[in-house]
Amino acid sequence: MRSLSEIETVSKRSSRAAGYSWGVAEEVAKNIRLLEIFNLPGIKNLNSFFKKKKELRLENISLINQNNEANKNEYCPIIAGVNCLDQIRTLENLNEITFKKISYPLLFLPFISRASEIIGKRIFLKIDDRDFLLNYNNNIYSNYTKNEIVESGENIYIKILENRDSFEEKEWNELYKLSEETFVEENESLKQSGAGAGLTDND
């Protein structure tokens, strides 16, 4: 089994060889490492993407808007992802963002996962019929479990979720009230441990 360090190094070097700057190549390397950690097919998709990249004639997008649609060919997932990540503080205010036609969309996914960590909010990402809940770049919940190459994403939908508790205030108050019972135990314990603390033996 390849180590994460090997995965990151080879992904970085191959990205540079495929024509991306060293800076972008480093971002790709971080992303492929993340995909493999999350048990998503990063290496498989990156390898396929680089083999077909020249013939795809992809479009690059620099300024991300609320609705983004490629003109003729698909968007490059790496350039779209880099710019999403760079502009996430502005995009956060849009709440919902859509893309039409992104090539190899699984390579776009980790940029959005990392964006979730930057803004401190969960992000829901839908790639056609594949759903992903991105949790601060710590983990991903998804209905997608296949180890396959996804060459194209026709409809990509991003929704930035507002932070809110998963429980009701009543449930919190009940649990907090129960926790207060330990305050008495802690106070008694402190009294007992400190009972002889102020005594000195002068004999």
Domain contains 66: yes
pLDDT digits (tens, 9 = 90+) for 142-166: 999 889 999 999 999 999 999 999 9
In angstroms, the CA 127 to CA 131 distance is 7
The yes-or-no verdict on residue 188 having pLDDT over 90 is: no
Domain contains 199: no
Rounded average pLDDT over 192-196: 61
pTM for the whole structure: 0.86
Strands 67-69 and 96-103 come out as parallel
What's the number of domains the chain is made of? 1
Q: Where are the beta strands (DSSP E) in the chain?
A: 67-69, 96-103, 123-127, 130-135, 139-142, 152-160
Q: Which domain holds residue 51?
A: 4-160
In angstroms, the CA 93 to CA 106 distance is 24
The yes-or-no verdict on residue 42 having pLDDT over 60 is: yes
Q: Under 8 Å CB-to-CB from 139, ≥6 apart: which residues?
A: 38
Domain contains 148: yes
Domain contains 139: yes
